[in-house]
Amino acid sequence: MLFNKKTEYSVKILLYMSSMLKYEYINAGEIAAKINLPKEFLSKILQTLTHYGIVSSQKGKNGGFKLIRDANNIRLIELINAFEDESFFTKCIIGTQKVCAGCNCPMHDSWEKTKTEIKKAKLSEINKYEI
């Protein structure tokens, strides 16, 4: 698995939220039910997404969470920075070395190309696929 659970679920959460009309406030319980995720775990992810300026929250009867940026303006790298270990892009993908810079593992060149594409990927592009 390339990404940890928080990163994977953050993508699913944001894809669901981006499918809502006019980015309305959505109750955390509704999001949790739609993506089959415990509400407590979802709340921690939403709190981080709020901290990173990707979603906003509102308390009260009509409150919840909503996207504050268009899916075309949210990059996968933002989610990686929010939820992955800081060594995500520097470690060897197959674990032969702690640092991948110049390592000679059989996946090095492919991983370098993949990292470049990951850094450019937008949430709106991921939305093309059923996740």
Task: Give all domains of the chain, ordered by start, each with its CATH number.
Answer: 5-126 (1.10.10.10)
Cβ burial, residue 68 (10 Å; 0-12/13-18/19+): middle
How confident is the model at residue 81, as a pLDDT? 92
CA atoms of 87 and 66, how far apart (whole Å):
30
CA atoms of 3 and 84, how far apart (whole Å):
7
DSSP label of 72 = G
What pTM does this model have? 0.84
How confident is the model at residue 19, as a pLDDT? 85
CA atoms of 114 and 99, how far apart (whole Å):
16
3-state secondary structure at position 7:
helix
Question: pLDDT tens digits for 51-65?
Answer: 999 999 999 888 899
> At 124, is the pLDDT very low, low, confident or very high (cuts 50, 70, 90)?
confident
Mean pLDDT computed over every residue of the chain: 85
Are the C-beta atoms of 87 and 93 separated by less than 8 Å? no
How confident is the model at residue 115, as a pLDDT? 83
Of the candidates 91, 27, 79, the one whose C-alpha atom is nearest the C-alpha of residue 52 is 79
DSSP label of 26 = B
How confident is the model at residue 96, as a pLDDT? 66
Question: pLDDT tens digits for 31-55?
Answer: 999 999 999 999 999 999 999 999 9
Arithmetic mean of pLDDT, 61-82: 91
